[in-house]
Amino acid sequence: MLSQIRSTGDQLRWAVDQPAPAIGTSSEILYVGMGGSGIAGDYVGAIAMPFGTRMVVHKGYGPLPLWATKARPLVIAASYSGNTEETLDFVESARDSGLRVATITTGGRLGELTVTHDWPSVSVPSGLQPRAAAGYMIGAALTVLRGAHAIDDQRLALDEAATMADEATAEGSDRWMEATRIAEKLDGRIPIIYAGGPVSTVVAQRWKTQINENAKVPAWWSLLPELDHNEITGWETMPEKTREHLGIVTLRDRSDNDRIETRLAHTRTLTQDAVPWVAEVNSTGVSRLARLVSLTAVGDLVSWMMADSAGVDPVPVATIEKLKKLLAEED
């Protein structure tokens, strides 16, 4: 898993040289994907936001949402394996509705449909755990959006992000040591990731899912200012338990609203007797993609270090595979 995490830089560089498929102009994007493929859509949605492109990420089955039947968006179906049940179901709905479809996959059933219907596609290299192929999937999605003239060329940003990923995941780097300190403080605790903006929020979700799949422990993420309207009261009645078993990490980016810093300070003051606030991680970099990757690298390392400390193999996801088998038996 560590080698796969460290391959993120090479994955992003791979996308720099990928030709954009000819799609035609579209400023309405409906991206469908699950797990690691789905989070790539969230990342690219955060990048597309400043360009005025509406990008909605759908994680689930069909049918199409009503707005899509009216707006006629470009549907991007992303599945690393090509066999994701929910994505395949949704793509059938998109095809039946006559929407344009582009795909991102290594093959599988989605690859077969791509060939059959001559859909524009970006084929990504196989051989990784889907969650560890985020660099490929993000780069491929950016390539599709470039082909749809939905965003500016992101190849310089991809190169910057790749360099940042390499530097962060090098043993002994500042980011490596930061991740080490966080993992040590989270040892034996359920992590809670707080964020407050378009960049930090996307990465908070990634931290949560990486900790779930790699370290095999529960985690959750919440968004400011929303959590100040509900979750902040949840620390009032069980402080003896929450102090012992939970820990908060905050993620920050310069795109966060100025009021988020103030809210974080007050939220911490009001809750720190009930739950430890173990770290604040700040993004670095110029481009939005690089800043996303700078926060992501720390979270990926933390999840691996937590698994290593607990003696857990971060690669297999046995419970997910068991669930897939149970679902298949009912077909």
Question: In this structure, are residues 15 and 136 in contact, taking their beta carbons and an 8 Å threshold?
Answer: yes
Closest CA to 202 of 12, 48, 39: 39
Instruction: For residues 173 and 175, give the distance between their C-alpha atoms in angstroms, rounded to a whole number.
Output: 5
Residue 184 bears catalytic tag: no
User: Rounded to whole angstroms, how far apart are CA atoms 165 and 297?
Assistant: 6
Q: CA-CA distance, 125 to 17, in Å (whole number)? A: 14
HEC per residue, 33-59: CCHHHHHHHHHHHHHHHHHCCEEEEEC
* Tokens linked to 301: 């390392």
User: How far from 140 is each of 27, 46, 251, 275, 324, CA to CA, in Å?
Assistant: 17, 15, 26, 40, 26
- Annotated catalytic, 160? no
> How many residues would you count in the chain?
331
Look up residue 80 and give its DSSP letter: S
User: What is the spatial distance between Cα 12 and Cα 296, in angstroms, rounded to a whole number?
Assistant: 13
149 carries an active-site annotation? no
User: Using an 8 Å Cβ cutoff, are 104 and 124 in contact?
Assistant: yes
Question: In 3D, which of 98, 329, 326, 317 has the Cα closest to residue 215?
Answer: 317
By the 10 Å C-beta count (0-12 exposed, 13-18 middle, 19+ buried), 26 is classed as: buried
Which one of the listed residues 229, 240, 325, 329 is annotated catalytic? 229
Active-site hit among 58, 86, 213, 216: 213
User: Which residue numbers are catalytic?
Assistant: 213, 229, 324
